Structure 1
Amino acid sequence: MLSSGPRKKNSAKLSSLAFGHSPFAIQSSSAVVVTVNTIAKSKAATSTLAASATVRAVQSPTPSAFSSSSRPTPEKEPPRRKRPASQSELPEGPRAKKQKSKNAAKESSTPRSSRASSIRRIGPPFGSLERPIPRICVTTEDGAVPHVSSEDVVIRVLREQTVPKKTKKGYRAFFRNPSDLNDKSFEPDSLQLPIVEFQYPNHGASERFLLLYPWDKDDYQPVKELMRTLSTIVDCYLTPAQREPFGSLSRNLISIPTEDTRPASPANHGTPSEQSTPLLRILERAYHKHDGPLFIKTMNEVSSRLATLKEEMMENARAWFNANKTDEEAEEGTSSGGVPVKLWKMVLEETYQRSVGPDVDDTKKYRSFSSETYGELNPSFISDIVHRLGLKPGKVFVDLGSGVGNCVFQAALQSGCDAYGIEINHPVASLSFKQKVEFTARLRMWGLTAGKYEVLDGDFCESNEVAEWIRKADVVLVNNYIFNSELNDRLTWRFLDLRDGAKVVVLKPFWPFKRPLTGRTADTPEAVLTNVEKLEYFSDSVSWTKEPGDFYIYTKSSVRPVLVQESRTSSRASSRLSR
């Protein structure tokens, strides 16, 4: 017989077996296992033995307890002790309510000029402000100016194309001749390359496009750009009656496969003017079927018609784009005017592809993780800044660290403001000079004007020109996302010369928020840039990440630093007297 001590430890564990599906049960502390038939006979002996050994025995269930219709249930566990409520879960007592009301009253009574920097998420959602800005924006000069054509960009790449086609670099044929599969005239190595000459809205403005497609879809795509340019002219420069013979293009037109192995479709080279289908639909059909002869023939027909409409297109532009509406009409949207959004985006894209695109590798010439690291702010970001901060003719925009000049040229074209930029990285600044020349030519070709624009190569902390720009600036943009603390500190001293109410837009805050002003900071930029707003931008707004993020807008205070400090002292004195 087993001793009672060790058995007692395992009694709970062994008794749990009595509640299972097994036909066997533990009857006593002697651990004697018996069958169901002997349970009744051993019941009395079990209870006596348990009493003498002072062991708590498991009472034997009746045979009916093991039937399928009824099973015993274990003893109920003792109720668990409830976790005490946390401080946040407790009801708010009268003392807490009184203190909360006191803190709110104290905060509202504190003068805004004496508060430390705070974060405010105000204004309309990012990207909701994109619309034309009213101004006089149509030139009186013709468009016959020297420019870098689409053909020039592709020819340059073809001349540098020394690697085999298997590496997927350079350009390949996009079109073919369905009537003659042996026709090699649409290949990049043919003696006569496939070229069309396209007409722009202004007098004397035209451009040659090579009908080839890049092996790498991220490279410049001349056919895609040609179709977008045509769509922009039809939508922005023609009346509904003038637009009728052309029709419109579908939204999924630019969906081009990188490889095309489909058999050539039968050719249908009927004269476009003899068909009832609009010209752009015929052009789209040839585009998707890769029918080179039909595409060239239709595009020549389109260009001929546009050439005869140049005078009408410029008249339409003067009537639509030059509408000088008031600020009230602009807010209500009851009048037209300004450069259409689709148009200024097209002009900027063409400029970039011809001046920066071929030498884009020059933007990667910098020391890694240095303050000269290159990054671009995309058009959607700058467009939101232009509208949110009210840039328009007569305003001044300054970009410190302007890169290739994208933000400068966009602000000048979109709003008509005067825009200036400076870049310390010499190879990148050289690209901004090229872009300035091409931007000027593109404006003439499209019949447009912009505000004054200028880009420099230099250090914004040392340049005398920057000091002059700062004194008259309404908006200063600084992409300081990767600036070190020393450069940020040197930069902020420039802002002491800003006009009252001027805005400074940054990607990273200059100082910690809610840091109180002291005598040490009363005469520093931190004292005059106390008002700051924290806003959010959408994904794909910057070049270094696809994720959304935050940007900050500082406002130059209208109160001088000494008065800010005095305001803090007077508020403390008044609070003491009230006690």
Structure 2
Amino acid sequence: MSIFNQKSKFKVKTEVRKVKQAVAPAPPKKSGGCGGGSSNGALSRPSLSAPSSAHGTPRASPIPSSLTAAAAAARRLNNSSHSPESKVGSSSSTGTASRKRRAPPSRRSPATASPAPVLSDSEPASDDDDDWAETLDRSKRRKRAHTEDPSRRLRHPKLWPGQGEEEKARIVHAVDVAGLADKCQPVMGLGRDEVAVRLRYPGAKYYERYELVWGKDKIDGAVDIMKVVELVASTYLTGSEAKPFLDKNDGICRRLEKSKNTQDGKGFKAALFEYNEQLLALQKSGAISKNISALRGIPQELVEFILDQVYDRTVAPKVDLLAKYENGTDNVYGELLHPFITNIFDRTKLSSGMVFVDLGSGVGNVTLQAALERGCESWGCEMMENACNLAEEQKKEFAARCRMWGIAPGKVYLERGDFRKSERTLAALKRADVVLVNNQAFTAQLNDHLVNMFLDLKIGCKIVSLKTFVHDTKNAANDVATSILDVEDLTYPEGYVSWTNAAGAFCISTRK
């Protein structure tokens, strides 16, 4: 007989829990200075649009059986019209890249989009240009890490020092998922034989291949490139080193933006060529290696962008696989988005010397975010086969991308199977400092099993969940969870999960 069907010997006074607003409202949506920028679940409202990634690729949005047919239809309509990357809760806790992270630039077809303003050196700048230039002001330009960890060393052990050859990391190039071969169309007045370009990254000698094309729900190559250039200059370079890139009048970022706005493909390619050459010179001089070695944290914008790059090249092209789940079971997929996860990391004080475990990790988004953002040992366990397969693809691409960006993440472990039976996962739980479980759609039986597992957690371990494990009934004093957990009930604002734009509740429990 389960221990939950027996009369407990525990006589612990039921605690009174206060509800607090835990997360600041999501920041207003805006694009980055040089271009477009840029993880779990509940019931949705049909009138709300689904979240999207930084580049507009669609996120998974399987609808739980508890949603009405009308809500499901409305969500599919929203997904198709806004090209979002949305997902809805797996036995997994987390979700993918931002999942409602930062608002992506809309991907409108050049044929249907409203004409971009034509700018020239002789024309006065618009108000929007003034705003853009202000973001590049040297006094405000330097990107700072959301949190800094004195114990963390960010320099990747295989960072190219600027001399000698290096082994090429196998990445999924942008052109592999968004190119002429995928029925995309050339942009900025370029011919089909002129769209191929290459992009250099700070941690590697080799390039990523792009094509300057547009396609519905595809990576926007020009926007992606502009964001990389801006992030490299603002994160990896000192003020004087970054000036040729970020000068508000004639810097490389400004020229890329102007060329895109004026549909000047040749001008865009010329500015990109100059960026590649100048970054190579900085790599050879040792400036990049020196600057990365001095970092103790990663700007949140860069964290989200790297995770989005990984997701857009691995999960987004196969996102329909995540819609295959079993109704009425614990196997429903959904994601907590980047800002929500960062807030969780802040509140639990997750750092590089800790162990993080995501029970029901889906495609691995949160597991990867913990490793990148905080540098900690990061574990995930998932039992849905399609999600596991995509998680493995993400892990491989994640390792290669981190190397290209010159950043060393924490160790990542992704386990397949039932987290109640996975020996490696159960062993990691005994060492865990922070545990995440998106139990929004879990059955009562599974939540009871989890409480039993929590008996093995070390004192002080933080458990983050969408639903409390403490039963709010007159018999709560006899509840096992009450006897081992101190619970804080919290709320999150709109736009922090993949299955709805609505605000919701979550809690952080501490093992007594």
- Tell me the TM-score normalised to structure 1 length: 0.61
Q: Which residue of 2 aligns with 1:150?
A: 174
Instruction: Give the 3 Å change call, closer, same or farther, for CA 219–208 of structure 1 in structure 2.
Output: closer
Q: Which residue of 2 aligns with 1:234?
A: 233
Alignment of 1:94-105 (within 5 A): none
Q: Which residue of 1 aligns with 2:390?
A: 431
Q: Which whole-Å CA distance do the structure 2 matches of 1:469 and 1:193 have between them?
A: 51
Describe the superposition over 1:220-240 as per-residue Cα deviations: whole angstroms up to 9, x where unpaired: 322211111111101101111
Q: CA deviation at 1:498?
A: 0.6
Is 2:272 aligned against 1:299? Answer: yes
Question: Does the 8 A contact of 2:470 with 2:476 survive in 1?
Answer: no
Is 2:356 aligned against 1:397? Answer: yes
Instruction: Structure 1 unaligned segments of length 5 or more: list them.
Output: 1-112, 162-169, 178-184, 250-275, 322-336, 558-579
Instruction: Give the 3 Å change call, closer, same or farther, for CA 515–391 of structure 1 in structure 2.
Output: farther
Name the structure with the higher helix share: 1
Q: CA deviation at 1:513?
A: 2.7
Instruction: Give the 3 Å change call, closer, same or farther, for CA 123–133 of structure 1 in structure 2.
Output: farther
Is 2:506 aligned against 1:551? Answer: yes
Q: How many corresponding residue pairs?
A: 374
Q: Which whole-Å CA distance do the structure 2 matches of 1:278 and 1:394 have between them?
A: 40
Q: CA deviation at 1:172?
A: 2.1
Q: Which residue of 2 aligns with 1:224?
A: 223
Q: CA deviation at 1:115?
A: 2.8
One-letter code aligned to 2:291: N
Instruction: Give the 3 Å change call, closer, same or farther, for CA 544–516 of structure 1 in structure 2.
Output: same
Is 2:429 aligned against 1:470? Answer: yes
Is 2:188 aligned against 1:175? Answer: yes
Q: Which residue of 2 aligns with 1:95?
A: none
Q: Which whole-Å CA distance do the structure 1 matches of 2:475 and 2:148 have between them?
A: 40
**Which of 115, 137, 141 is the aligned partner of 2:158?**
141
Alignment of 1:354-503 (within 5 A): 354-503=313-462
Question: Does the 8 A contact of 2:211 with 2:221 survive in 1?
Answer: yes
Q: Which whole-Å CA distance do the structure 1 matches of 2:474 and 2:292 have between them?
A: 52
Q: Which whole-Å CA distance do the structure 2 matches of 1:127 and 1:547 have between them?
A: 12
One-letter code aligned to 1:315: K
Alignment of 1:540-579 (within 5 A): 540-557=495-512
Question: Does the 8 A contact of 2:22 with 2:491 survive in 1?
Answer: no
Q: Which whole-Å CA distance do the structure 2 matches of 1:171 and 1:408 have between them?
A: 33
One-letter code aligned to 2:511: K
One-letter code aligned to 1:396: V
Describe the superposition over 1:135-185 as per-residue Cα deviations: whole angstroms up to 9, x where unpaired: 211123135422111111224xx54x5xxxxxxxx52222205xxxxxxx2
Describe the superposition over 1:213-264 as per-residue Cα deviations: whole angstroms up to 9, x where unpaired: 12x2x44322211111111101101111112222257xxxxxxxxxxxxxxx
Q: Percent of counterpart pairs with the same letter?
A: 33
Instruction: Give the 3 Å change call, closer, same or farther, for CA 368–339 of structure 1 in structure 2.
Output: same
> After alignment, is 476-485 or 365-374 more displaced?
365-374
Describe the superposition over 1:486-544 as per-residue Cα deviations: whole angstroms up to 9, x where unpaired: 221122211110111111111112233364555x64xx344212x11111112111000
Instruction: Give the 3 Å change call, closer, same or farther, for CA 552–127 of structure 1 in structure 2.
Output: same
One-letter code aligned to 1:242: E
Question: Does the 8 A contact of 2:201 with 2:405 survive in 1?
Answer: yes
Q: Which whole-Å CA distance do the structure 2 matches of 1:245 and 1:338 have between them?
A: 25
Q: Which residue of 1 aligns with 2:290?
A: 315
Larger Rg: 1
Q: Which whole-Å CA distance do the structure 2 matches of 1:232 and 1:499 have between them?
A: 39
Instruction: Give the 3 Å change call, closer, same or farther, for CA 316–535 of structure 1 in structure 2.
Output: same
Is 2:203 aligned against 1:202? Answer: yes
Question: Does the 8 A contact of 2:146 with 2:299 survive in 1?
Answer: yes
One-letter code aligned to 2:293: R
Is 2:299 aligned against 1:340? Answer: yes
SS in 1 for 2:246: coil
Which protein has greater RCO, CA pairs closer than 8 Å, 6+ apart?
2
Runs of 4+ in 1 over 6 A off after TM superposition: 127-130
Is 2:498 aligned against 1:539? Answer: no
Q: Which residue of 1 aligns with 2:243?
A: 244
Q: Which residue of 2 aligns with 1:116?
A: 14
Alignment of 1:188-199 (within 5 A): 190=192, 192=193, 194-199=195-200
